[in-house]
Amino acid sequence: MIDQIQKALLLISNINLRIIGDYFQIKQIRNYNQNSILNYLDLGISKEYAILLKICVIILPIVFFIKTKNSKMKIGLMLLIVASVASLVDTILRGYVLDSIYYFKLFCLDIKDYYIQTAVAIIIAEYFEGEIRKQKDRK
């Protein structure tokens, strides 16, 4: 929800804020390729295919969320689900993902991308913590 409110405000205001010259900016970037990998490879996909792909991506963390009993893992999975839904909403409403936080002419992110990064960090940390617990229990 925060992601969509931020994007609505960005679209209304049409802001272009240079925080550190051309290297760090807040501005509208319409990402028609739907994600950074497709951008990097300069590959586009249709809106319909993007919607179908994003629905499939939402299903996997939901299944893991239902199956896991680990509360930290559930937080990470919930962040992934929220980010995936936000991306799906972008594609359905606009036909593209609206990014706004521009870094060093390298990449552009939005709030949901930070959800994904946080989720991945939580899931990886929790996985390794679980592996360490298993090794301790074996000794």
* Domain, as residue range, for 63: 2-138
Strands (E), the chain: 16-20, 24-31, 97-103, 107-109
Q: How many domains does the chain have?
A: 1
Residues written for the chain: 139
pLDDT digits (tens, 9 = 90+) for 19-41: 888 788 887 777 766 665 666 66
pTM as predicted: 0.77
pLDDT digits (tens, 9 = 90+) for 62-120: 999 999 999 999 999 999 999 989 889 888 988 877 777 878 777 778 888 888 899 99
3 state SS for 44-84: CCCHHHHHHHHHHHHHHHHHHHHHCCCHHHHHHHHHHHHHH
